[in-house]
Amino acid sequence: MTSPAPAKAHDAHAEHHELGFIRTYVFSTDHKMIGRQFLFMALFMMIIGGSLALMMRWELAWPEGSAGPNPNAGTQLMLKLFGDPASGDLPIPFTKWIPQPYMFDGHMPPEFYNAAFTMHATIMIFFVVMPILVGCFGNFLIPLMIGARDMAFPVLNMLSFWVGAVSGVIMLSSFLVPGGAAAGGWTAYAPLSAVSTYTGVTWGQHLWCISIIVLGISSLMGSINYITTIINMRAPGMTYFRMPLVVWSLFITAILLLLALPVLTAALAMLLLDRMAGTSFFLPAGGGEPLLWQHLFWFFGHPEVYIMILPAMGIGSEILPVFARKPIFGYRAMAFSMIGIAFLGWIVWGHHMFQSGMNPTLGTSFMISTMVIAVPSAIKTFNWLGTLWGGNIHFKVPMMFALGFVAMFVIGGLSGIFMASTPVDIFIHDTYFIVGHIHYVLFGGSIFALFGAIYYWFPKMFGRMTNPFLGHVHFWGTLIGFNGTFFPMHIIGVGGHMRRIYNPMQYEFLHPLQHWNVFMTLSALFLGLSQIRRTVTSARCCRPSTADRTSTARRRSKRTIYRRIASWRAARRPRTEDPRRDG
Amino acid sequence: MLSWWLPHNVSSYGGDVDYLFYLIFYITGVAWVLVQAAMLVFLFMYRHREGRRATYTHGNTTLEIMWTIVPALILVMLGFLSKSTWDAIRHTHPPSTTVVQITAKQFNWEVLYPGPDGKFETADDKMIENDLHVPVNEVVRVRLTSKDVIHSFFVPQFRLKQDAVPGRVIEVWFKATEPGVYELPCAELCGFGHSGMLGHVTVQTAEDYKAWVKDQWPS
């Protein structure tokens, strides 16, 4: 605990005493500091992942030379602002400095476009959503909510963060090696990912594999820690069915991580051997099987989806009751539906592979299990509505994000039913419909909940309040920008627009859909601008709060003088108030 | 009513796929409207007002059982409806005299026609890149494979998509119902040339198709 206790109390507790800067802020074993470290790492990565997404959106809306002939009003306005009306070219702004193999005259060549969407997905999934939901809030909340002093293995916890950070550095460094970063998609389907000549990427893909293997080690350390802590270190009286739902969700997530990640690690090791040692696990020329990669990847990949949405569900179940001023509706059903998801999550992976050449009979059984796994999510949604019913609802910023989470997650859940149906999936598989679906679940679901959680626990984490007005601006900007960016993806997907193509103008049947691409890009730019507010918040909280400073430093600080004045005033008044609320 | 959103359907089984699509669309659409409307009504009705207290409840078992069983029944019903269409497309292989072999490679479709003898690996086989000619209203069987990485054979108007996997031959079929030229993009990421990997399917009337065959094999 780093509470602002008096100096004398510090002497009494050795572990609070004389922890230098390095032990406090860098190699900390305090679960709360590790949680914050995960948060900062992930917010930094989010800027990179988001920038890649904006570049891709720009390229899709205005591929080389297509802006001039496009009569769309938005296009013509952007052309006047950022482009060259004479040539009709609209290059991506602020990218002229990026050298040639990556960018070409302000446009992305297809090689870099492929690397961009691969890295966007990899970064957002492995280095943004997972570190914040599991790394940050798992660390921060579990001990506090179950009444433990810290995690079961504090040093392992520290290692988990630093191994994760090394993995992030490896991943980012892959942009700089010759050939550029991995360009085989975040799903890295073999043989495309298994042979360097197919993508032209050598070390980029090697480093991608190595980075995820290293990250897998970090996640394993974290998940073992969470499971052990939750099983063994609950305070007396904190039975399993009294645990807050967010702890339940993190518990189940940790179990899924523990069981799913080794599968991915093994698959990545095989892929790396195929790439570097000449084996042919996934190469048919040597007797290997390309579909084996897909089975292994999605056997990890589908539980992974729940790893990213379960904590978000837990956070929603935590925030909604607080601001509706009533208990969660159907606590046990909420816990059991998460357990149900955890079991069913293992038998649905084949629904990613209906068109892969997998036996169609197997497709039918995966379709039925996929239909069934939609039920627990439906139960949760109805229970959230039940929580709102009869409440006394306060529309504070965290509540707005939690409500946004429920509303957007419903769309993501319902759109999933389309692709569960095998015949419909024949058409929408590999189109933008899928991209829309995944973003409604991961952005509309996970990231809305994650923003809600940041606003909700921000005062607890950093000892200061956030500005409610700016919070509401951030919420509405995000909600509007998000729907403008991702809802039309369903429309163009049903129009047949394939994913992972960098120039839709190459296909005649996509020309009538191009105005949607322009609209989505403008919305995405608005969405990006709306995030500046969040970036400012995270920059502000980098300054250590008064709660974290040592007593000596605090005595010197100007803030303490204010606090002393406040406490002196408070002492003269009959009613006491928390001076920290003044800031 | 059934064709206002999806691309124009020219396939014999496309209507069944579209029917399922719109069925799911209307069911999920109704569910979506009900959930969002309930949420908005609750947010308005139960917004914070001074002096009012929230209703204290931990849940309602009957209600919870109801909203578990109803979605489960609807979803399983959708599953069984989908199964019959899926079986008709993927399990049954109607007899056909028109067979082609399509080998995908970075970044082209190699269309191999068996020629007048109807057999592959004979002297009259003919390979044409990115150009598939088929007769209208006849079942066409496509034997799909790949030389290098995974590609995906996608004709939006046929409601047909199937990955072409190296080391495997996967057979799919379609029956085009309207003559015309349709685009044949690759739908699975296959490398830097994935965007722009494009062939064309020309569906021809019986006479036109005969004329085209005569043109190609003039013996």
What distance in Å separates the CA atoms of residue A116 and residue B189, rounded to the nearest whole number? Answer: 13
What distance in Å separates the CA atoms of residue B57 and residue A167, rounded to the nearest whole number? Answer: 46
What distance in Å separates the CA atoms of residue A497 and residue A512, rounded to the nearest whole number? Answer: 11
Residue A447: alpha-carbon gap to chain centroid:
6
| Secondary structure of residue A13 in the 3-state scheme | coil
What distance in Å separates the CA atoms of residue A307 and residue A301, rounded to the nearest whole number? Answer: 9
Give residue-wise pLDDT tens across range A237-250.
Answer: 999 999 999 999 99
Minimal CA–CA distance to A124: which of A427, A450, A538? A450
Is the CB of A498 less than 8 angstroms away from the CB of B46? no
- For residue A432, the chain B residue with the least C-alpha distance is B187
Q: Closest Cα of chain B to A383: distance in Å?
A: 8
Give residue-wise pLDDT tens across range A212-221.
Answer: 999 999 999 9
CB-CB neighbors (< 8 A) of B43 in chain A = 388, 393, 403
Q: Closest Cα of chain A to B121: distance in Å?
A: 21
Q: Closest Cα of chain A to B106: distance in Å?
A: 8
What distance in Å separates the CA atoms of residue A205 and residue A580, rounded to the nearest whole number? Answer: 49
Which pair of structure tokens corresponds to residue A324? 């509706």
B180 contact A CB<8A = no
Is the CB of A389 less than 8 angstroms away from the CB of B165? no
What distance in Å separates the CA atoms of residue A484 and residue A530, rounded to the nearest whole number? Answer: 13
Q: Closest Cα of chain A to B113: distance in Å?
A: 22
The pLDDT value recorded for residue A572 is 56
Q: Report whether pLDDT(A109) > 70.
A: yes
Vertex B173: Cα angle to B137 and B146 (nearest 5): 135
The pLDDT value recorded for residue A365 is 94
Give residue-wise pLDDT tens across range A457-503.
Answer: 999 998 888 888 889 999 999 999 999 999 999 999 999 999 999 99
Q: Report whether pLDDT(A559) > 80.
A: no
The pLDDT value recorded for residue B52 is 87
Q: Looking at per-residue confidence, does A81 or A439 come out higher? A: A439
The pLDDT value recorded for residue A80 is 85
The pLDDT value recorded for residue A89 is 83
φ/ψ of residue A325, rounded to 5: 60, 35
CB-CB neighbors (< 8 A) of A289 in chain B = 167
φ/ψ of residue A236, rounded to 5: -55, 135
Residues 6+ apart with CB under 8 A from A255: A223, A227, A342
* ipTM field: 0.95
Give residue-wise pLDDT tens across range B136-153.
Answer: 999 999 999 999 999 999
CB-CB neighbors (< 8 A) of A424 in chain B = 17, 20-21, 24, 82
Q: Report whether pLDDT(A16) > 70.
A: no
CB-CB neighbors (< 8 A) of A501 in chain B = 185, 194-196
What distance in Å separates the CA atoms of residue A244 and residue A260, rounded to the nearest whole number? Answer: 24
State the amino acid at position A451 in one-letter form: F
CB-CB neighbors (< 8 A) of A396 in chain B = none
What distance in Å separates the CA atoms of residue A38 and residue A164, rounded to the nearest whole number? Answer: 9
The pLDDT value recorded for residue A537 is 65
Which pair of structure tokens corresponds to residue A534? 């969040």
What DSSP designation does A89 have? B
Q: Closest Cα of chain A to B180: distance in Å?
A: 13
Across the range A289-313, mean pLDDT stands at: 95
Q: Report whether pLDDT(A438) > 80.
A: yes
Give residue-wise pLDDT tens across range B39-72.
Answer: 999 999 999 998 888 989 888 899 999 999 999 9
First-to-last alpha carbon distance for chain A, in angstroms, is 22
> Which candidate in B163, B169, B183, B197 is best for mutational testing of the A interface (most A CBs within 10 A)?
B163
Give the alpha-carbon dihedral of A444, A445, A451, A454, to 10 degrees.
180
**pLDDT < 50 positions in chain B:** 1-3
Give residue-wise pLDDT tens across range A150-160.
Answer: 999 999 999 99
The pLDDT value recorded for residue A7 is 46
Give residue-wise pLDDT tens across range A324-352.
Answer: 999 999 999 999 999 999 999 999 999 99
How does A458-484 read in b/e, with b if 16+ C-beta sit within 10 Å? beebbbbebeeeebeebbebbbebbbb
**Chains A & B: contacts with CB separation below 8 Å:** 263
The pLDDT value recorded for residue A577 is 45
Given pLDDT bands bounded at 50, 70 and 90, which one contains residue A568? low
Is the CB of B46 less than 8 angstroms away from the CB of A390? yes
Q: Which residues pair with B198 in a beta bridge?
A: B185
Residue A72: CB atoms within 10 Å: 18
Given pLDDT bands bounded at 50, 70 and 90, which one contains residue A539? low
B49 contact A CB<8A = yes
Is the CB of A421 less than 8 angstroms away from the CB of B38? no
Q: Closest Cα of chain B to A109: distance in Å?
A: 9
State the amino acid at position B142 in one-letter form: V
Q: Report whether pLDDT(A541) > 70.
A: no
State chain A's mean pLDDT as an integer.
88
**pTM, whole model, 2 decimals?**
0.90
CB-CB neighbors (< 8 A) of B189 in chain A = 114, 184-185, 189, 192, 500
Across the range A20-46, mean pLDDT stands at: 91
Is the CB of B149 less than 8 angstroms away from the CB of A395? no
Partner residue opposite B156 with nearest CB, options A191, A395, A509: A509
Q: Report whether pLDDT(A95) > 90.
A: no
Give residue-wise pLDDT tens across range A191-203.
Answer: 999 999 999 999 9
Kindly give the pairing relationship between strand B131-135 and strand B139-146: unpaired
CB-CB neighbors (< 8 A) of A426 in chain B = 17, 89, 159-162
B64 contact A CB<8A = yes
- List, as one string, the DSSP characters of A445-511: IIIHHHHHHHHHHHHHHHSSPPPHHHHHHHHHHHHHHHHHHHHHHHHHHHTTPBSS-S-GGG-GGGG
3-state secondary structure chain B: CCCCCCCCCCECCHHHHHHHHHHHHHHHHHHHHHHHHHHHHHHHHCECCCCCCCCCCCCCHHHHHHHHHHHHHHHHHHHHHHHHHHHHHHHCCCCCCEEEEEEEECCEEEEEECCCCCCCCCCCCEEEECEEEEECCCEEEEEEEECCCCEEEEEHHHCEEEEECECCCEEEEEEECCCEEEEEEECCCCCCCCCCCEEEEEEECHHHHHHHHHHHCCC
Using an 8 Å Cβ cutoff, are B10 and B182 in contact? yes
Minimal CA–CA distance to A199: which of A297, A108, A288, A111? A111
What distance in Å separates the CA atoms of residue B2 and residue A212, rounded to the nearest whole number? Answer: 45
The pLDDT value recorded for residue A546 is 47
What distance in Å separates the CA atoms of residue B1 and residue A65, rounded to the nearest whole number? Answer: 37
Is the CB of B148 less than 8 angstroms away from the CB of A191? yes
What distance in Å separates the CA atoms of residue B143 and residue B163, rounded to the nearest whole number? Answer: 11
Give the best-scoring range by mean pLDDT among A25-29, A74-78, A371-375, A401-405. Answer: A401-405
What distance in Å separates the CA atoms of residue A327 and residue A310, rounded to the nearest whole number? Answer: 19
